[in-house]
Structures are given as C-alpha cells and as structure tokens.
Amino acid sequence: MTDFSIRPLTVEERKYAYMQSQQLCSKTGCIGYLRGDFGQSGRMFYSSWEDIRPDLKTPEFKAAFDDVINLLRNEDGLLHSREDMVWYGRNHAESGFQGNFSKEYGFRVDTQDYAFLIRCIPQVGDNNFYFFCYRRDWLDKHIEKAKQDIRFVTPDYKELFHLPDGEVITITLDTGEKLDRVCRFIDETHVEVGEKIYHICEFAERMAYNGNTYSPKEPPLPPECFSTLPSSGELIKIERYQNRYTLLGVQKTPEENRERADVLNKGRGVSKAQEAAMLAGSIFGWDTPAAKPKNYNENGEPIKPKDRER
C-alpha cells in the first residue's frame, strides 16, 4: 500500500489543478488527469481519464494512482461522495477559494514520487473533481522557479516590471483596444502570454513593432516586503502567499522599525499599497480583497468602495 499525505493546495499550486499548455505539462511532468462526478444522488462515481504524458504512465505510477484513489474513496474520504467532499472542504477552510463559477476546494496528495492536485467542485450537474497527476520532483522544481516571477523587458533588455506567475497583463493596441492576457512562467527567459509562448525579448520586440503597450492589469504583489505589526510596532518580514510573517531579530522602537521598513521596501520597489496588501494577506488570507494592492491608495490606506468605482 502506498504511503501518502494530504493537505490544502497553496496559492501557487492552485494554478496546476487546471489544464495547462503542452509546454507547461512537459515542464511539470503532468502525466494526465481524472475527472468525474457523483451523479444526481451524490454517491455514484463516474470518471474518465485523459492522457497527457503517456510515456510517464509507468506501472509504478499506476500502482500509486490506484492506491490513492481507493483510499480517498473510503468512507468519509474526500472522494467518497459529494456530501463527504463538502464536509472535508469545510473542515479545511484554507482549502477553499473562488473558482470560475462557484466556491471550490483544492487539495494536494503526495506519495514518494508523485503529486496529485485535486480541484473539488461540489455542485450538482457539473464535474465534481479534477485529479491532476504529476511527477512530484518536476512539479516542485517548476513551482519553485516560478517564484522568481515573469520578467517583462524592453527590446534592448531593460526591465519594465515583474509579474507573478498566473497574473494578467493588459495589452493596449495602437487602435486603443485593450486585451487582457493571462501570463505563465515557462522559464527564466520564456513566457506564455494567452495561448502563445515567447522569449521575453521577442515579446517586447513584437509589441514595439506593432505599436502596442502593456502593463499589469492590477498592481501585483511583490515576492516579499517588510512591515510593522499594528499591535506592537515590531518589524516583520512577509513573503507572498505565506500565511504567516517573520519577526526580525533586531527590534527597536516602533518609530525606528517603521522607518527601517520604509527603507527596506523602497530599496525593493515596494509601494505602500503593496505593503498594506501583503500585511493583510499574511494575517487574513490571500483570497480576501484586502490582499489586493488595487484596494489601497498611494499612502497604503484602504480605498472606500465608492471611490474604487470612480
């Protein structure tokens, strides 16, 4: 019997519980995925398998896959029924996130060699789960690399901005029309924009040739920033998508700590709005509106809903 562990998906991992491009599937070692539903009764198990990398579907993978599915199908398991799926998700609140049409839950199951990313949609009349299968080492290596963000540059390689994997840019055509495109990290010098893959310099050259401009659709979260705790004024370090913060070893007065945080953030190009969003995300969760820099003004103060609409 295969030993395995299960936990909620991280924010970075959620992107890989959806269908990826062929290039990303190759990079991450995506073997294939199972999709299924529990039928009208909520207790059936209808499923179908899609191959992506048949060359990776070894006997060892098949054995691990079967063991994990069978264990999750046990009574009270995540895939036992629609009711059990809802119960499991609600008892792991950090697994919940807003999907394309409704609230979804995400979990990751690890065996020694494989990672299974499960996206749960406990709605009647839809597929109730997607079960993506990866080579664990390939997936983790790619996710770790993607944390360095996507670089956008000018044709002469001058950096314009960095964008977290999976965020959106707005391309403004020479006609004034605006196009939103999801961007995915491929490697240090390649990016997937919409459905096309470019060298980062090639993308810049094409945009310039066509008279297009581009920028993040929303101000992005930085990889890290510094702040002070509202309750004590202690200096802390915050890493993007981590549900915690780190107290720094050297602490001074709240005023001196605030000044130090400002200096450190300025050196990293972190705005007040980004800092405020990072602090909120680390305390209240990264899916809350408070974790979006667009909801703060240049002083890091929350923007009232009426002001956002203007």
Residues 194 and 288 placed together within one structural domain of the fold: no
Residues 159 and 56 placed together within one structural domain of the fold: no
Residues 228 and 208 placed together within one structural domain of the fold: no
Domain boundary among the residues 110, 143, 176 is at 143
Residues 38 and 114 placed together within one structural domain of the fold: yes
Residues 125 and 193 placed together within one structural domain of the fold: no
Q: Which long-range contacts (CB under 8 A, 24 or more apart) does 13-19 make?
A: 13/106, 13/108, 13/117, 13/143, 14/97, 14/106, 14/119, 15/165, 15/166, 15/184, 16/117, 16/132, 16/134, 16/139, 16/143, 17/106, 17/117, 17/118, 17/119, 17/130, 17/132, 18/119, 18/130
Structural domain containing residue 190: 148-216
Residues 15 and 120 placed together within one structural domain of the fold: yes
Residues 90 and 21 placed together within one structural domain of the fold: yes
Residues 139 and 11 placed together within one structural domain of the fold: yes
Give the per-residue pLDDT at 1.
65
- Please list the rounded mean pLDDT of every run of 10 residues in the chain (310 residues): 89 96 96 96 96 96 96 93 95 91 94 97 92 98 97 94 97 96 97 97 97 97 96 96 92 96 97 98 94 97 72
Give the per-residue pLDDT at 172.
98
Number of domains in the chain: 3
Dist. CA 205–CA 224, nearest whole Å = 30
Residues 127 and 241 placed together within one structural domain of the fold: no
Give the per-residue pLDDT at 284.
93
Domain boundary among the residues 216, 242, 263 is at 216
Residues 127 and 169 placed together within one structural domain of the fold: no
pLDDT (tens digit, 9 = 90+) per residue, 50-106? Answer: 999 999 999 999 999 999 999 999 988 999 999 999 999 999 999 999 988 889 999
Residues 74 and 194 placed together within one structural domain of the fold: no
CATH number of domain containing 40: 3.30.450
Domain boundary among the residues 119, 143, 167 is at 143
Report field, pTM of the whole predicted structure over 0.85: yes
Give the per-residue pLDDT at 76.
85
Give the per-residue pLDDT at 102.
86
Residues 128 and 198 placed together within one structural domain of the fold: no
